[in-house]
Chain A
């Protein structure tokens, strides 16, 4: 297991010294490859705090985490000998609005910054930039452009290429598609899907978009008030009880499928996960 949480809790300290429990007794295991996970939950439920533990940006106040064999607990910070940098290279974390963090004069330099920072030679970093710009679906011509004249979606892609260039095993993206128009959002989701399938990396997406969860994820984690309340199949997640309990939205495709099945007394199977699947299943059911 690449990531293993054992009874992990995390308490934020406010200035009034009243603690706030952001994570409570979380147990979790994530594989180094082949997983496509979405992490959902209401705002303030602990999603980002959980993600920040996965690359040791913060350490638990209780419990233990193992990140690629490295043990992390509440004493880790004090032990100066423990090097956390290699972990941060293995688990790439793309923050919300990564485009605000672009700063170099060309796209190429921006992508090269991370890997060089982790000790990659200029030559290798350059090669990585050329490779990764294409993985995120942009033409090589973009490398010589200024990052500041790109659209929102393009900037996001460049910052993701920068993280990928560090060759992480696991890629975590915090609300990567918020603010994008539907076409841009779908294109970016396809990029993540491709990273997952062709590079065989584990991808973890933090999102509020239930359509993303339903269409792409193999596994869903649901956080609620610091507690990991669901860890499993997206198909089983959206039962009536869970929707009410955890304030979820029903994905568009699932809600239409359910409605058509009841209203027209048909069965759409296998359960459609994409718009195209739904159309096909309906055609078959009607013929």
Chain B
């Protein structure tokens, strides 16, 4: 591979990194951990973890506890049946919410991967008059906040009859976005051109080079883009809020909000089930992150350093 991919552990490793593998060097004073270091890290980690503990303990609380809002920080009840009740007892199609989320997130990721790989390849490899200007436009569009286009896009999709369908959430992904084009273009630029030169000599066309040579080498960055898109689409709230208004079509992120708002003002939402829903919303994101950690890290590095300089 043309690009060295530092593993996250390695890259975010110890400050006195070289001292560890090399016993000849002592730890510098700046890297010495004092008891205060541990104290702060322990307190902060605990504070950061409290919401997770609460999420879990509330998700295991009984309906009575939930109705009285009498939750404890550490779980005292273990109503595992909540994890099935969330699908049946809320009066909302929660199973459908999950399916909708999966569908929207997957198709969005497919769209971004396909389109950004094509466009990024062209910007990295093909020569054409006007390309420089086009790339400046790509970079410039990164600065336009989504709110500017939100209203006209809504009116456009309404005209097309797409309101209350998934199309407004999925279709734009097939036309890529500037950030992903930039990432792919940077990635491909660092792949040596010798291979596609040779392939072209052998009579492979531009699409052939893309399909056979470059695409197979692009998968680290495309995985990162897929993860990024999945995460965004899975957690997106505003898009579904604007476009989807029937219960059947809602993704989980919006459905959860719906679950807390259906009860009238005097009545408390079924917090135990809402927390089960929040856990269902959270777990896939943690799983995806741990599976794709190193690709994400690579993208952070590229996006990060490229964004600053």
Q: Note whether A and B form a binding pair.
A: no
Q: List residues of A whose CB falls within 8 A of some B CB.
A: none
Q: List residues of B whose CB falls within 8 A of some A CB.
A: none
